[in-house]
């Protein structure tokens, strides 16, 4: 798909965000459906209808269905600008999104525009809508599909960018009057994590073992984590990389971002408290990070831009950007105890509270010369808000176990117990529609016996 002028392309992209646009896939039109026609997030799925369809491939979520992009391409209804038919087929039939992301922003946007037109209820292009046999090949019921880790992740970095979270932790473990360290207000604090243990939603997470320093003992003991916690975060994927020694400018950093996911950076607080001085988290974070399977593009989030919090002091020049760079994303954490019929919502917060923006995080990450690769994942850090119930971790919600939270069906939690299922959810609210992330789910398995 090509356009006569850049303005024509911009108008076509803008049309995909029209709040009045509805889909002929009726489930997508429910006001509480995460996967509206305004969303169109990308992911990787498989299903077992036959040998070919059992393979992992690229899909887009719409209502309660998945659009098989390779099948749509085979039907002649989807093109990737700048790529031959064979190259496009290879990209869309791949087991990860990496090749699609590497194809560039023009390709991402072209696919979004083509899909929006094909799926729109009132559009003249009825090639998919009115062809039952083709719909059978191209549309897969979400319930019949398996969702996979969407990206081959070469690198993972976790930031610490919520002022409320950093203040709570600093007050809890250091001096409440000087909760933030001097450097926190000057730059996005982060650390290089481990990409190998990032897993997709639904993957069980085993309680980690490690060194624990008990107050009454001189030396540490080895055993299962006793203070297992969640960290409610979002993450963003790099879609356009950068070369070694070439920083990414803050003003253009968002051009490198493909999209966002929900992210739960599971944390072993007792292991962390003993190991984090002098170099920060290690085993306390390395056992698992869970992400949601659908990647919501920045184009889909565009209507939900809001002004980021005021930054004082003004950041150094390389961290400055004009305009609005926060997003109004409602976030929740739900805890369901083993055997419970329903979950308890233990946290409600919003991504708009984040002090440091994604653009600033990326600019700071690369300013010393670190290169970015397609598929690199950046975690926001725990997202906490200004109220007690908007804290994005049990560490804060219970103030390190001193104030346990009550569960709907009885009992309390100071930290996570074996068998607990934790669910992160997030969405943007439009006029009669949502742009949602789906859910990010993990259930805790008991630790392996010591020595095994």
* Three-class SS state of 343: coil
pLDDT at 441 over 90: yes
* Residue 404 and residue 272 share a domain: yes
| Residue (of 295, 273, 297) closest to 285 by Cα position | 273
Total domains in the chain come to 2
Angle between helices 6-15 and 105-119 (to 10 degrees): 50
* Residue 141 and residue 186 share a domain: no
The H or E element containing residue 164 is: helix 163-173
Asked if residue 413 is part of any domain, the answer here is yes
Q: What integer pLDDT is reported at residue 8 of this predicted model?
A: 82
Let me know if 97 is exposed, middle or buried by CB neighbors in 10 A (0-12, 13-18, 19+).
Answer: buried
Asked if residue 91 is part of any domain, the answer here is yes
Q: What are the helix (H) ranges across 93-131? A: 98-102, 105-119
Over residues 39-59, mean pLDDT: 87
Asked if residue 336 is part of any domain, the answer here is yes
* Residue 415 and residue 279 share a domain: yes
244-302: per-residue pLDDT in tens? 999 999 999 999 999 999 999 999 999 999 999 999 999 999 999 999 999 999 999 99
Q: Residue 340 has which token pair? A: 């419970």
Domain boundary among 125, 147, 169: 147
Q: What is the mean pLDDT of the chain?
A: 96
Query: How far apart, in whole angstroms, are the C-alpha atoms of residue 197 and residue 164?
Result: 27
Asked if residue 451 is part of any domain, the answer here is no
Domain boundary among 99, 116, 147: 147
Instruction: Specify whether 364 is catalytic.
Output: no
Residues 68 and 137 sit within 8 Å (Cβ to Cβ): yes
- Do you know the residue count of the chain? 452
* Residue 206 and residue 109 share a domain: no
* Residue 68 and residue 196 share a domain: no
Asked if residue 452 is part of any domain, the answer here is no
Which residues constitute the domain of residue 117? 6-147
395-406: per-residue pLDDT in tens? 999 999 999 999
Query: How far apart, in whole angstroms, are the C-alpha atoms of residue 191 and residue 379?
Result: 10
Q: Residue 405 has which token pair? A: 């939270």
* Residue 380 and residue 318 share a domain: yes
443, β-bridge pairs: 421
Q: pLDDT-derived band of residue 450, with 50, 70 and 90 as boundaries?
A: confident
pLDDT at 52 over 80: no
Query: How far apart, in whole angstroms, are the C-alpha atoms of residue 384 and residue 300?
Result: 24
* Residue 223 and residue 363 share a domain: yes
Asked if residue 1 is part of any domain, the answer here is no
Domain boundary among 147, 173, 204: 147
Query: How far apart, in whole angstroms, are the C-alpha atoms of residue 123 and residue 138?
Result: 18
Q: What is the DSSP letter of 82?
A: T
Asked if residue 298 is part of any domain, the answer here is yes
Query: How far apart, in whole angstroms, are the C-alpha atoms of residue 425 and residue 34?
Result: 10
HSE at residue 87, side-chain half, CA atoms within 13 A, is: 10
* Three-class SS state of 422: strand
| Residue (of 420, 81, 380) closest to 232 by Cα position | 380
169-184: per-residue pLDDT in tens? 999 988 888 899 999 9
Q: Residue 99 has which token pair? A: 């090749």
Q: What integer pLDDT is reported at residue 51 of this predicted model?
A: 58
Query: How far apart, in whole angstroms, are the C-alpha atoms of residue 426 and residue 112?
Result: 21
Query: How far apart, in whole angstroms, are the C-alpha atoms of residue 320 and residue 390?
Result: 28
* Residue 217 and residue 78 share a domain: no
Query: How far apart, in whole angstroms, are the C-alpha atoms of residue 35 and residue 33?
Result: 5
Q: What integer pLDDT is reported at residue 49 of this predicted model?
A: 73
Q: Residue 421 has which token pair? A: 């299922």
* Residue 316 and residue 180 share a domain: yes
Strand-strand pairing, 377-379 and 156-159: parallel
Residues 358 and 327 sit within 8 Å (Cβ to Cβ): no
Q: pLDDT-derived band of residue 3, with 50, 70 and 90 as boundaries?
A: low
* Residue 245 and residue 202 share a domain: yes
Asked if residue 349 is part of any domain, the answer here is yes
187-198: per-residue pLDDT in tens? 999 999 899 999
Q: Residue 89 maps to which CATH number?
A: 2.30.30.230
142-169: per-residue pLDDT in tens? 999 999 999 999 999 999 999 999 999 9
The H or E element containing residue 347 is: strand 344-350
Q: What integer pLDDT is reported at residue 124 of this predicted model?
A: 80
| Residue carrying structure tokens 């995909």 | 16
CA–centroid distance for 126 within its chain:
33
* Residue 184 and residue 87 share a domain: no
Q: Residue 370 maps to which CATH number?
A: 3.90.850.10
C-alpha separations of 282 from 169, 218, 382 in Å: 18, 22, 17
* Residue 407 and residue 285 share a domain: yes
- CB contact set of 213 (below 8 Å; sequence gap of 6+): 220, 270, 273, 274
pLDDT at 204 over 60: yes
Q: Which of 73, 148, 165, 256 is catalytic?
A: 165
363-410: per-residue pLDDT in tens? 999 999 999 999 999 999 999 999 989 999 999 999 999 999 999 999
Query: How far apart, in whole angstroms, are the C-alpha atoms of residue 238 and residue 253?
Result: 10
Strand spans (E) along 230-343: 232-238, 257-264, 267-268, 289-291, 296-297, 305-306, 326-327, 330-336
């Amino acid at each position: 798909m090509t356009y006569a002028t850049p303005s024509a392309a911009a108008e076509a992209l803008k049309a995909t965000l029209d709040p009045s646009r509805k889909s002929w896939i009726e489930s997508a039109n429910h006001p509480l459906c995460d996967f509206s026609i305004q969303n169109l997030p990308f992911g990787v799925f498989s299903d077992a209808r036959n040998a070919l369809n059992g393979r992992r491939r690229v899909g887009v979520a719409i209502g309660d269905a998945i659009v098989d992009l390779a099948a749509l391409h085979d039907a002649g209804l989807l093109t990737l600008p700048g790529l031959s038919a064979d190259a496009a087929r290879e990209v869309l039939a791949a087991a990860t999104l990496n090749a699609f992301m590497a194809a560039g922003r023009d390709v991402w946007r072209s696919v979004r525009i083509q899909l929006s037109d094909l799926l729109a209820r009132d559009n003249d292009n009825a090639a998919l809508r009115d062809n039952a046999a083709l719909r059978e090949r191209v549309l897969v019921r979400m319930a019949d599909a398996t969702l996979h880790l969407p990206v081959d992740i070469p690198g993972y970095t976790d930031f610490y960018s919520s002022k409320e979270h950093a203040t709570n932790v600093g007050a809890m473990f250091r001096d409440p009057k000087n909760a933030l360290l001097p450097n926190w207000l000057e730059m996005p604090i982060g650390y290089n994590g481990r990409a190998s243990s990032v897993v997709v939603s639904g993957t069980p997470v085993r309680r980690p073992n490690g060194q624990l320093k008990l107050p009454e003992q001189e030396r540490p003991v080895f055993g299962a984590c006793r203070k297992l916690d969640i960290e409610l975060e979002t993450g963003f994927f790099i879609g356009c990389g950068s070369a070694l020694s070439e920083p990414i400018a803050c003003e253009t950093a968002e051009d490198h971002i493909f999209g966002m996911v929900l992210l739960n950076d599971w944390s072993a607080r007792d292991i962390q408290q003993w190991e984090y001085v002098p170099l920060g988290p290690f085993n306390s974070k390395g056992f698992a990070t869970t992400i949601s399977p659908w990647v919501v593009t920045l184009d889909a989030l565009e209507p939900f831009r809001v002004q980021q919090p005021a930054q004082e002091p003004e950041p150094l020049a390389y961290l400055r950007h004009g305009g609005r760079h926060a997003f109004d994303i409602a976030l929740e954490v739900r805890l369901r105890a083993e055997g419970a019929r329903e979950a308890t919502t233990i946290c409600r917060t919003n991504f708009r509270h984040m002090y440091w923006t994604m653009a600033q995080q990326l600019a700071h990450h690369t300013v010393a010369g670190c290169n970015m690769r397609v598929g690199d994942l950046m975690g926001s850090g725990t997202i906490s808000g200004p109220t007690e119930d908007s804290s994005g971790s049990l560490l804060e919600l219970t103030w390190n176990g001193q104030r346990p939270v009550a569960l709907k069906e009885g009992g309390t939690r100071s930290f996570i117990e074996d068998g607990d299922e934790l669910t992160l959810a997030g969405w943007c609210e439009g006029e009669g529609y949502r742009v949602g992330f789906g859910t990010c789910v993990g259930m805790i398995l008991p630790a392996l016996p010591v020595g095994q």
